[in-house]
Structure 1
């Protein structure tokens, strides 16, 4: 290999080559899921997006599929039951011989609780007796933020392995979207959510290990975002399925002095999807928030 050939290997289109890869993004209709979808599709991947609301998915496909190298294809699905997940696997399998990238992004938050109490009785009232805190609430959050990661990932293992088998030099990948909320020591007033994200990070590592010891050539990683504009963080999105966070809201709360941008998440997604040497890792994209908040 001469020097010119060697140099060509370092071009962006080679380092982050996703042309003709087949991807599935859960919760791809808004927020981080939409950012991931755009990052993959604009760089040549065929991206199936799922969510409960077909209208939102169709809007994304209509808005963001035009004049790009890849595709965005909506498939409405509820991924909180094994039956629905099995149906989703059948749907993708009927359309594609293999899956190269699975991004488990779908997630929900939990009710906030007051943590400012200065006595045991007050803290008990706020954390134990308050109606927003219940076993049902914890079950609901863990079902969506943890359990479905396990069941969606394991259901697609055969199709992901086919992606590896069909592409020389490529290992298919599962990317779980966790959160810095699962890393920091603060509760941020929502214990169930933060605990679920810590569980998602550990689940990623366990899956990566068990996949490896089963001799499957797949990579399993997770991206832990800090604050990014989404329906979860802003409670709304506009007609383009995008949310917005004013810069001044976080100017004094993290070293970056702002919330994350679409491009920040796109870079993390492309790196995690394309880099064949990253496995079992947590990619933190948080503007330095963990530095200021302190990790466990």
Structure 2
């Protein structure tokens, strides 16, 4: 028996893979896009903001570690079925298959300032009553429905990747917020992420059928730097969390926010591991140990 198969290059080989990452222009999506592109994959990054996508491709698509890697911008609104159809057709004209789809796009839409221990029924009612139906619908449309239809649009290309020993992977980016019992001041977001985790389970069950042969798993991240957690990106479309006492304040045993490498390692593992089906992998620095 050869030991060669245990080398890092073999265990995490994504050379010449085709990857699609929604929300790939910034934050967690960009981390994942870089992980695949720097290891030889052609990565299509999806988003509504063409300028952001182009800037990411120009900034991070040059001088990649692997000569075969590419970051390719493709404008797409995942809440619009016609836009998703155009995206699938465009990729289908250039590629015969998609090896990995990462559904990463997400929005939050505000928060509620209710504190645990506040025993005023009136205050609780007033705060929660201020929530807007439209914002709940917008969050659900992106974080759940958008992930569903993006996956459905690409089923033929994902299925086309199948061969003995290799099946395509769908990785949904959910959140620890869909697991914790605390509202974290944003009910709508947490409910949507709980739904996204269950969506992953349902899709895993449906897409595993012999005629499709696609694996579905999800990553539930903790606090990572992104436009959602910091409200901004720098000139490289990267966000930063650098706050004294942050870990103690947030109750994160790891003592820091998540890094690019933390997310890249998780995404590559679920993409290449052909024995992973229907799993929720929480990469959250121990947050859920402090906030069950």
TM-score bucket (shorter structure) = over 0.9
Within 2, Cα distance between the matches of 1:214 and 1:159? 15
Which residue number in structure 1 is paired with residue 93 of structure 2? 94
**Residue 155 of structure 1 corresponds to which residue in structure 2?**
153
Cα deviations by residue, 1:72-123 (Å, 9 ceiling, x for unpaired):
0001111101111111111110111111110000000121112134211111
> 1:11–1:278: structure 2 CA closer, same or farther, 3 Å change rule?
same
- Cα distance in 2 for partners of 1:226, 1:43 equals 25
Equivalent residue, structure 2, for 1:224 = 220
Distance in 1, Cα, partners of 2:210 & 2:86: 25
1:70-219 residue pairs with structure 2 within 5 A? 70-116=69-115, 117-128=118-129, 130=130, 133-165=131-163, 168-213=164-209, 215-219=211-215
State the shift of 1:214 in Å.
Answer: 5.8
Distance between the aligned counterparts of 2:166 and 2:210, measured in 1? 18
Q: CA deviation at 1:164?
A: 1.3
Is 1:21 aligned to residue 17 of structure 2?
A: yes
Deviation at 1:169, TM superposition (A): 1.6
For residues 239 and 271 of structure 1, the distance between their equivalents in structure 2, rounded to whole angstroms, comes to 29
Q: Structure 1, unaligned stretches of length 5 or more?
A: none
Alignment partner of 2:253: what SS?
Answer: coil
SS in 1 for 2:21: strand
Name the structure 2 match of 1:292: 290
Whole-Å separation in 1 of the counterparts to 2:209 and 2:63: 42
Q: State which of 22, 33, 57 in structure 2 corresponds to 1:61.
A: 57
User: Structure 1 CA distance, aligned partners of 2:191 and 2:219?
Assistant: 16
Inter-partner Cα distance in structure 2 for 1:125 and 1:247 = 32
Q: Any idea what the Cα deviations from partners look like across 1:122-150, whole Å, max 9, x if unmatched?
A: 1111101x2xx111111000000000111
Q: Matched residue pairs, number?
A: 285
User: Which residue of structure 2 lines up, in the alignment, with residue 31 of structure 1?
Assistant: 27
Query: Given the two structures, how large is their TM-score scaled by the length of structure 1?
Result: 0.94
Deviation at 1:248, TM superposition (A): 2.9
The answer for the alignment partner of 2:255 in structure 1 is 257
Determine the C-alpha separation between the residues in 2 that align with 1:210 and 1:49: 26
8 A contact 1:247–1:257 mirrored in 2: no
Kept in 2: contact 1:247–1:259 (CA 8 A): no
Q: What secondary structure, in the 3-state scheme, does the structure 1 residue paired with 2:180 have?
A: coil
Q: Deviation per CA, 1:37-76: give whole Å up to 9, x if none.
A: 0000001100000111111111111111122221000011
Structure 2 residue aligned with 1:45: 41
CA distance in 1, matches of 2:204, 2:211: 11
Q: Secondary structure at the match of 1:140?
A: helix
Please provide the CA RMSD for this pair.
1.1
For residues 247 and 264 of structure 1, what CA distance do their matches in structure 2 show? Answer: 19
Shift of 1:210: 1.3
